[in-house]
A and B are shown apart, each in its own frame.
Chain A
Amino acid sequence: MDLNDFVKNFAEQFDDTDPELINANTKFHNLEEWSSLTAMSVIALVKASYGKTITGAELRSCVTVKDVFDLISSK
């Protein structure tokens, strides 16, 4: 699993946010578009593309996009 690919996939879960604004160090909870629905998109992405299960609580405890990547890598 590649961090850059993951960041790109993560950014694709947003409809109105410029992908340029999202990098590995982005504190994604602070993005204006972030909502419970985007969280669902990320949970689905992780399940569909990486075959792993992350919970809403785990996602909530992540601060940056890289934290999510590390979480998935640890599973």
Chain B
Amino acid sequence: MAYIKALSYYLPERIVTNEELVKEFPEWSVDKVAQKVGVNSRHLAAEGETAGDMALKAAQKLFGDYNIDPKSIDFLMLCTQSPDYFLPSTSCVLQDKLGIPTSAGAFDYNLGCSGCVYGMAIAKGLIAAGVAKNVLLLTAETYNKYLHPSDKSNRSIFGDGAAACLVSTDGFAEIGDFSLGTDGSGANNLIVKTGASRQKDTTGKYIEDEEGHIWFDDYLYMNGGAIFNFTLDAVPAMMKDILVKNKLEKEEIDYYIFHQANKFMLDTIRKICVLPKDKFYVNLAETGNTVSSTVLIGLKDCIDNQIIKRGDRIMISGFGVGLSWAGTVLYMQ
């Protein structure tokens, strides 16, 4: 059996408020952003600060907060879509910087909003197979570096950040059974097209998409309507599957921590899944959508503020870019 044993996160220093953001977009109101998107301010990585740098800080914080000896880590994985280099894997660089033994395994994996839950699935597998005992799972993202300055929607939603989680043979939350899913036919609905092998050089090109939004080749593009429809299809089905896999009824779930995409989407998911407001976590006011870190940040927040307690069953899930989704139940010890 695998458990979450420790949990910490790091948010970069620079904070951008809605007031700052609307200065660039006078047609956009502060209240509207706060009310609909649910974000009042978000943290942005500094110019030279990478996802690797933030993951390092999150891991160091974890080691400090829980008095963990880096020498006890025997596997390290980093979820990011903004790696420091094409190669090597940023996790290899982090192994050295963190003082994790050279006998530890390490790799990066490329996922977004579903990434934290996927990491738990992999970590649980490594532990169940006897490959590792103490898996350090890191999530770190700097989506803001991928956003075009004129992209007010995404600039209001996304915040940068990193989280660190120790998955071990004992701990405070047992990790249950998983529901995972993938639909690559929606790959173009959330994409940065250039910079990698398919199109290495920037093109400077853009087109108007079917919804009238500008799609820049060289920046993050999200087809809002398509992602919204995908989520409203995938999440209720995933929820049912998580319950089946864990042999639980909906009423037996004490609290829901879903990927904090934006308040509007979370409210809609909650209504469609018919979940009570007081059992459904919505809190991205000070962080924004930090992609793969939202679930871990939310979990930490709920534990620190005693929103969840011993004996609770917590459903967690992530969904987004890929398209990709994943969910499980955590059993609080």
Interface residues of chain A, those whose CB is within 8 Å of chain B, are 15, 36-37, 39-41, 43-44, 47-48, 53, 55-57, 59-60
Stretch in B122-130, B225-233, B293-301 touching the partner: B225-233
Contact A53 B268 (CB under 8 A): no
Q: CB < 8 Å: which of B35, B213, B228 contacts A43?
A: B228
CB 8 Å contact bits of B200-243 with A (1 = contact, 0 = none): 00000000001111000000000111101100110000000000
Contacts of B32 in A (CB 8 A): 37
Looking across the interface, which residue of chain A has its beta carbon closest to that of B265?
A: A40
Contact A56 B211 (CB under 8 A): yes
**Alpha-carbon gap, A48 to B225, bound state (A):** 14
Report the interface size for chain B: residues with CB under 8 A from the other chain.
21
Contact B212 A55 (CB under 8 A): no
Contacts of B268 in A (CB 8 A): 44, 48
6 shortest interchain CB distances as A-B pairs: A56-B225, A57-B210, A56-B211, A44-B268, A47-B232, A48-B272
CB distance from B183 to the nearest CB of A (A): 14
17 further interface pairs, Cβ-Cβ under 8 Å (given A39-B211, A43-B229) = A37-B36, A39-B224, A40-B224, A40-B225, A40-B228, A40-B265, A43-B225, A47-B229, A47-B232, A48-B268, A48-B271, A53-B233, A55-B225, A55-B226, A56-B210, A56-B211, A60-B212
Q: CB < 8 Å: which of A47, A48, A53, A56 contacts B224?
A: A56
Contact B264 A40 (CB under 8 A): yes
Interface of A is mostly: helix
Contacts of A37 in B (CB 8 A): 32, 36, 264
Residue B72, interface by CB 8 Å: no
Residue B199, interface by CB 8 Å: no
CB contacts under 8 Å to A, within B265-283, are 265, 268, 271-272
Looking across the interface, which residue of chain A has its beta carbon closest to that of B223?
A: A56
With A36-B153, A37-B264 as contacts: A56 and B232 at CB distance below 8 Å: no
CB distance from A16 to the nearest CB of B (A): 9
